[in-house]
Amino acid sequence: MPSAALDLDLVTADELAAYHRDGFLIKKSLFSREEVDHMIQYFMDMHARKAIPGYTFLTEEEAKGDPLKLYPRIMHPHRWDKPSLEWLVDARAASVLRALLGEEPVATQSMMYFKPPGAKGQAFHQDNFYLRVRPKSCIAFWLALDRTDPDNGGLQVCPGTHTMDVACPERANLDVSFSTELVAPPTGHDPVPAILEPGDALFFNGSVVHGSTPNSSQNRWRRSWICHYAPESMREIAKWYFPILDMQGNEVKYGEAEGGGPCGTEAKGAH
């Protein structure tokens, strides 16, 4: 893996200040249009070939009109797929993460979201409720493969919530969310939509309250590549994320935090 060998300087002082003020940062065109088109093709082919270990493939009839049941997210593809591992430890992502964290990142999770038209969203939540990274928080790298905006269920983030403690969630409305936990945006921290073009990347702190509404468009997919990382100085993380990798793809051992689990608990029968 080439990642950490390259020391790219991708974050300006103003961007770093904005990240520390808001808890998130958008990097325009981090990946090229050709690269994200390739990623879309790659994961759509993987799905068409039914080449996804542990995945639930339903027929249209079994899915009963729920597009998310036909295209659930792919969890941790980097554990069995080499290109996914390379995208998880990508040198550009590593460089931005290093600047935002102020230290070396370690990789904890990869996910591919298809979110076809009509798919449910994911209720507002905080990622570190699931990852349980301590003493500092985790951080997300959310790469838009399609254009994303409120119409196709793009991500929304609540600026300034990175300084909040991790809250105890309420029950989400399962008519609009595939995941069961809700942390309502706190007063004074209204959500703002992350409007992203293909190849744009959103990075956000693991305490930031964020989520998405259903894809209410007629025909616009909202595919995204989503990875989570932690500062290498962390002491513990939820077991569900083991093995943890450095940015060269080698396993690094950490302590096991109590609880946690997949990022967004899926409602029973969600797929």
Residues at the interface with ligand AKG (CB under 6 A) = 113, 121-122, 127, 155, 210-212, 224, 226, 263
In the complex, least distance from residue 203 CB atom to ligand AKG, rounded to whole angstroms: 12
In the complex, least distance from residue 130 CB atom to ligand AKG, rounded to whole angstroms: 8
H/E stretch holding 112: strand 105-113
In the complex, least distance from residue 171 CB atom to ligand AKG, rounded to whole angstroms: 17
Query: Residue 13 or residue 168: which is nearer to ligand AKG going by CB?
Result: 168
In the complex, least distance from residue 121 CB atom to ligand AKG, rounded to whole angstroms: 6
Tokens 């409120």, located at residue? 150
Query: Residue 76 or residue 210: which is nearer to ligand AKG going by CB?
Result: 210
Distances (CA, A) of 109 to 64, 136, 217, 244, 267: 30, 17, 29, 8, 20
Query: Residue 108 or residue 248: which is nearer to ligand AKG going by CB?
Result: 108
Query: Residue 160 or residue 262: which is nearer to ligand AKG going by CB?
Result: 262
Q: What angle do CA 162, 183, 128 make, to 5 degrees?
A: 50
In the complex, least distance from residue 5 CB atom to ligand AKG, rounded to whole angstroms: 28
Distances (CA, A) of 174 to 101, 167, 223, 242, 264: 34, 20, 21, 29, 12
Q: Closest residue to ligand AKG, Cβ-based? A: 212
131 — phi, psi (to 5°)?
-80, -30
In the complex, least distance from residue 61 CB atom to ligand AKG, rounded to whole angstroms: 26
In the complex, least distance from residue 247 CB atom to ligand AKG, rounded to whole angstroms: 20
Query: Residue 257 or residue 263: which is nearer to ligand AKG going by CB?
Result: 263
Query: Residue 4 or residue 117: which is nearer to ligand AKG going by CB?
Result: 117
φ/ψ region of 19 (left if φ > 0, alpha if ψ in -120 to 50, else beta) reads alpha
Distances (CA, A) of 162 to 30, 153, 157, 207, 224: 23, 22, 10, 5, 22
- Give the three-state DSSP class for 98: helix
Query: Residue 6 or residue 36: which is nearer to ligand AKG going by CB?
Result: 36
- Give the three-state DSSP class for 15: helix
- Give the three-state DSSP class for 50: coil
